[in-house]
């Protein structure tokens, strides 16, 4: 959902060095002398260890200044008197399973009884930053990857303090004790539960160094495990941000301009104010200099009805009115002009190549369209503000809220709520929907409404509300010989930058080129490529979309590689393996696993079906697909998908399988006719799932997911399953029709 960033720790170390760091554990962490651990409070004996602010009164010892907040067990572990362990998660849970995966990692080193482990989401507290990037972030498939060592150390520190407390009570050497399933075991059959020891452990020093388990001794990590939230989500009991209910709460909806950035010319709100339940109708500033009208009522339906009753005139004279057909023509003009160079190989061999391939690819804007539309609940008090929101970047959103409300950052508290999807839309540098919610809450209070306000987007607001995956055009000219050896590959990409003007620009925009646009190009194949990039501007707000640039670069690379294989009469798998050689063993392993498990090359397909193959790395994980597809009345149909996945160590293989299944389905969504956002005279033409197509249950193929065994530190899996699905499907279609697929979504007569 976010671009791949490189941290100094990760980029500087090869996998073996990282594995050494993993085993070395806290030896590499800053030292600390003393730190209070757990505070038991309340009649039920539950620890208030989730938030440092709540536990500050329990600090019996001065913390070592060298200990960072994200290294302190106090912020992450709460142990109740009955031994129940609650783990606080430093990320947003929005379907990827992190609320279970990180709890498993900590519980592994804690030696907790998994049946008594729970988890909860954190806040914008400084303890819950990404430990490598030092910012609050869920994105870029980094949750498990970046917090693997962190949560292992948190569990190991907690366990060491519990053991020390037991040793003090029994007056024995801590080295003689061991732990198992939430208990400390001592000589002579002695046993103390973690709940019995937690209060004593709080007064003990936090160890500077801890010894982490040898991976061969893992009991939880690597074992397929049912998610902690599975029962609630499957039974409808899971609460999301949209479900926030506070005493006296009101609901706001916004009438937005039809063209991005437009302002109001006139407002007639008499009919809206007459709707029963309406409390206020307010003219408010919106994102990107636009204006709108907020309707605040005692529920969503009256607010929705009142919004429909508004009589609004819009001033669109001063804003660009994007037209998709005209924009494509403009992109084509730019593709023929000089631009910035990312790769710059010699193109002289192109003119004398025995065979040549010319191709143009078009990719439309895409909406994120999560099942839960955007929402944010704001409660203002004299002391500050509280927000309930499914945020991927709660620290950044808290800062934006503070600026909007005229508060200090420390006066804003973000309660991170589970979200019903996001795909990048809830991680946005402008914090647009949070700023809007705070603007409305402030205006409501000024109008005399002293109540929490939930600002809620409708499905139509969400589809038409912008921040789309950008539209892109690719153009390629490739020269190759009869053996498929590429002699020259001249490539051009045209599309808006998603990073220019954001906090990520200094890191990821180099020499004027947005790194997310070109990620995945040329890899893993040793190709002589000249890559030219153009970044036109347009009055359409854009953002990362699940797997970012790989949504289009993987399609281009893997369909063109397949086309060269067909042109030279080579098997597409054998051709890829020959190009990959020995330099990319993870690609080779993932592809070979998918091929072996699919029966490709050994099993005869039913009449009318064809194989399709693709392999791609994103966010340091490799996914290969072998698919089976057919044409039914001219419509491409995907029947079966076999995945080979190399994500190093899979903390929870069941979650990895689910992520690949979901990502494959989302990849399929890019292929279906109607899966595009288009504009006419500046107005988005789609509004709901009736005209922005998503897969239905009948479109879902059978999917098998197979993992390459590995003990190396885990890499990300939230996004890598998406990019290779569309090209694998397209390659199967090309074998059926004899014509390459050059656009997404597929043409309706493909």
The pair phi, psi for residue 614, each rounded to 5°, is: -160, 150
Is the confidence at residue 553, as pLDDT, over 90? yes
511: left (phi over 0), alpha (psi -120 to 50) or beta: left
- Burial (CB count <10 Å: 0-12, 13-18, 19+), residue 690: exposed
If one counts every other C-beta atom within 10 angstroms of the C-beta of residue 574, the result is 12
CA 105/CA 149 separation, integer angstroms: 9
Region 362-389: what's the mean pLDDT? 98
Please state, rounded to an integer, the average pLDDT across all residues of the chain. 91
Q: Please say which residue of 421, 456, 491 terminates a domain.
A: 456
Helix, strand, coil: what percent of the chain each, to 5?
A: 35, 25, 45
CA 447/CA 444 separation, integer angstroms: 5
Q: Is residue 746 domain-resident?
A: no
Name residue, tokens 């569990």.
155
Lowest mean pLDDT among 12-21, 199-208, 229-238: 12-21
Q: Are residues 654 and 563 in the same domain?
A: yes
CA 93/CA 91 separation, integer angstroms: 6
Query: Quick one: pLDDT at residue 187?
Result: 93
Query: Quick one: pLDDT at residue 26?
Result: 33
Q: Are residues 381 and 505 in the same domain?
A: no
Is the confidence at residue 738, as pLDDT, over 50? yes
Is the confidence at residue 45, as pLDDT, over 90? no
Q: Are residues 162 and 229 in the same domain?
A: yes
* Residues spanned by the domain of 654: 336-366+467-737
Q: Is residue 279 domain-resident?
A: yes
CA 100/CA 306 separation, integer angstroms: 42
Which residues is 344 bridged to in the sheet? 530
Say which CATH number the domain at 393 has: 3.30.365.10
Q: Are residues 596 and 684 in the same domain?
A: yes
Q: Are residues 661 and 545 in the same domain?
A: yes
Q: Is residue 324 domain-resident?
A: no
Q: Which of 633, 590, 638, 589 is nearest to 610 (CA)?
A: 638
Q: Which of 672, 695, 674, 696 is nearest to 685 (CA)?
A: 674
Q: Is residue 572 domain-resident?
A: yes
Task: Please state, in angstroms and as integers, the Cα–Cα distance from residue 366 to each residue in 21, 118, 288, 428, 679, following that order.
Answer: 40, 36, 19, 16, 12
CA 249/CA 266 separation, integer angstroms: 29
Q: Are residues 293 and 380 in the same domain?
A: yes
Query: Quick one: pLDDT at residue 267?
Result: 98
Region 29-57: what's the mean pLDDT? 29
Q: pTM higher than 0.75 for the full model?
A: yes
Lowest mean pLDDT among 67-76, 145-154, 241-250, 644-653: 67-76
Lowest mean pLDDT among 14-18, 194-198, 712-716, 736-740: 14-18
Q: Which of 641, 661, 639 is nearest to 720 (CA)?
A: 661
If one counts every other C-beta atom within 10 angstroms of the C-beta of residue 704, the result is 16
Query: Quick one: pLDDT at residue 268?
Result: 98
Q: Are residues 129 and 257 in the same domain?
A: no
Q: Is residue 328 domain-resident?
A: no
Indicate the number of domains in the chain. Answer: 3
Largest CA distance in the chain: 85
Output the six-digit token pair for 379: 């409660």
- Burial (CB count <10 Å: 0-12, 13-18, 19+), residue 379: buried
Q: Which of 573, 567, 560 is nearest to 520 (CA)?
A: 560
Q: Are residues 168 and 273 in the same domain?
A: no
Q: Are residues 618 and 480 in the same domain?
A: yes
Strands of 449-510 (E only): list them: 453-456, 472-480, 486-495, 509-510
Task: Please state, in angstroms and as integers, the Cα–Cα distance from residue 31 to each residue in 61, 65, 75, 92, 127, following that order.
Answer: 15, 9, 18, 29, 17
Q: Are residues 231 and 246 in the same domain?
A: no
At 160-171, the pLDDT tens digits run 999 999 999 999
Q: Which of 454, 456, 390 is nearest to 420 (CA)?
A: 390
Q: Please say which residue of 394, 426, 456 terminates a domain.
A: 456
Region 64-77: what's the mean pLDDT? 85
* Torsion from C-alpha of 439, 440, 442, 445, nearest 10 degrees: 170
Q: Is residue 329 domain-resident?
A: no
**Distance from chain centroid for Cα 371:** 15
Output the six-digit token pair for 169: 């009570």
H or E element in which residue 506 lies: helix 505-508
Q: Is residue 725 domain-resident?
A: yes
Q: Is residue 559 domain-resident?
A: yes
Q: Please say which residue of 218, 235, 252 terminates a domain.
A: 235
Is the confidence at residue 224, as pLDDT, over 70? yes
Q: Are residues 706 and 587 in the same domain?
A: yes
Q: Are residues 412 and 512 in the same domain?
A: no
């Amino acid at each position: 959902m976010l671009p791949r960033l490189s941290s100094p720790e990760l980029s500087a170390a090869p996998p073996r060095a990282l594995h050494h760091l993993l085993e070395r554990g806290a030896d590499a962490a800053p030292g600390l002398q003393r730190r209070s651990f757990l505070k038991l409070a309340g009649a039920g004996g539950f620890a208030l260890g989730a938030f440092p602010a709540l536990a500050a009164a329990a600090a019996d010892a001065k913390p070592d200044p060298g200990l960072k907040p994200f290294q302190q067990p106090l912020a992450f572990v709460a142990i109740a008197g009955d031994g129940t362990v609650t783990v606080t998660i430093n990320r947003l849970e929005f379907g990827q399973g992190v609320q279970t995966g990180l709890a498993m990692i900590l519980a592994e080193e804690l030696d907790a009884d998994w049946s008594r482990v729970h988890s909860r989401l954190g806040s914008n507290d400084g303890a819950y930053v990404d430990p490598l990037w030092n910012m609050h972030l869920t994105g870029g498939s980094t949750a498990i990857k970046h917090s693997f060592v962190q949560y292992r150390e948190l569990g190991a520190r907690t366990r060491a303090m519990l053991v020390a407390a037991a040793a003090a009570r029994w007056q024995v050497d801590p080295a003689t004790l061991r732990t198992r399933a939430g208990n400390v075991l001592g000589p002579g059959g002695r046993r103390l539960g973690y709940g019995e020891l937690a209060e004593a452990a709080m007064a003990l020093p936090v160890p500077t160094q801890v010894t982490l388990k040898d991976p061969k001794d893992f009991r939880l990590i690597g074992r397929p495990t049912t998610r902690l939230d599975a029962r609630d989500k499957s039974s409808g009991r899971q609460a999301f941000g949209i479900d926030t209910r506070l005493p006296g709460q009101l609901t706001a909806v916004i009438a937005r301009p039809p063209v991005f950035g437009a302002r109001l010319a006139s407002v007639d709100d008499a009919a809206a104010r007459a709707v029963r339940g309406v409390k206020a109708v307010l003219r408010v500033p919106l994102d990107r200099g636009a204006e709108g009208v907020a309707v605040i009522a005692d529920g969503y339906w009256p607010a929705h009805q009142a919004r429909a009753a508004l009589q609004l005139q819009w001033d669109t004279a001063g804003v660009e009115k994007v037209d998709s057909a005209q924009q494509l023509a403009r992109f084509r003009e730019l593709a023929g002009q000089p631009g910035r160079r990312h790769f710059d190989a010699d193109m002289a061999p192109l003119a004398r190549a025995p065979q040549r391939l010319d191709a143009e690819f078009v990719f439309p804007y895409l909406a994120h369209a999560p099942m839960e539309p955007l929402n944010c609940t704001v409660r203002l008090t004299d002391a500050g503000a509280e927000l309930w929101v499914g945020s991927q970047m709660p620290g950044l959103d808290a800062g934006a809220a503070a600026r909007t409300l005229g508060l200090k950052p420390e006066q804003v508290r973000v309660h991170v709520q589970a979200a019903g999807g996001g795909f990048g839309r809830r991680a946005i540098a402008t914090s647009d929907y949070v700023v809007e919610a705070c603007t409305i809450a402030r205006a409501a209070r000024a109008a005399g409404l002293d109540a929490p306000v939930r600002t809620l987007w409708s499905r139509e607001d969400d589809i038409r509300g912008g921040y789309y995956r950008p539209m892109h055009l690719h153009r390629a000219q490739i020269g190759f010989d009869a053996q498929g050896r590429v002699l020259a590959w001249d490539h051009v990409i045209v599309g808006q930058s998603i990073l220019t003007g954001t906090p990520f620009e200094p890191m990821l925009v180099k020499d004027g080129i947005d790194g997310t646009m070109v990620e995945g190009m040329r890899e893993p194949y040793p190709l002589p490529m000249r890559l030219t990039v153009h970044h036109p501007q347009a009055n359409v707000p854009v953002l990362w979309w699940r797997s970012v640039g790989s949504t289009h670069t993987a399609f281009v690379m893997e369909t063109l590689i397949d086309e060269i294989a067909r042109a030279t009469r080579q098997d597409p798998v054998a051709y890829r393996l020959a190009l990959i050689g020995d330099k990319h063993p993870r690609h080779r392993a993932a592809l070979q696993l998918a091929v072996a498990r699919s029966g490709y090359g050994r099993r005869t397909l039913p009449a009318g079906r064809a194989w399709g193959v693709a392999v791609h790395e994103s966010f340091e994980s490799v996914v290969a697909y072998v698919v089976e597809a057919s044409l039914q009345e001219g419509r491409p149909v995907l029947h079966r998908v076999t995945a080979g996945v190399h994500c190093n160590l899979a903390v929870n293989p069941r979650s990895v399988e689910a992520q690949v299944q979901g990502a494959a389905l989302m990849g399929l969504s890019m292929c279906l006719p109607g899966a595009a956002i288009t504009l006419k005279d500046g107005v988005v033409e789609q509004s709901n799932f009736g005209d922005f197509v998503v897969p239905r249950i009948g479109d879902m193929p059978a999917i098998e997911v197979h993992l390459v065994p590995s003990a190396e530190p885990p890499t990300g899996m939230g996004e890598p399953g998406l990019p290779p699905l569309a090209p694998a499907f397209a390659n199967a279609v090309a074998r059926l029709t004899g014509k390459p697929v050059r656009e997404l979504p597929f043409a309706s007569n493909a």
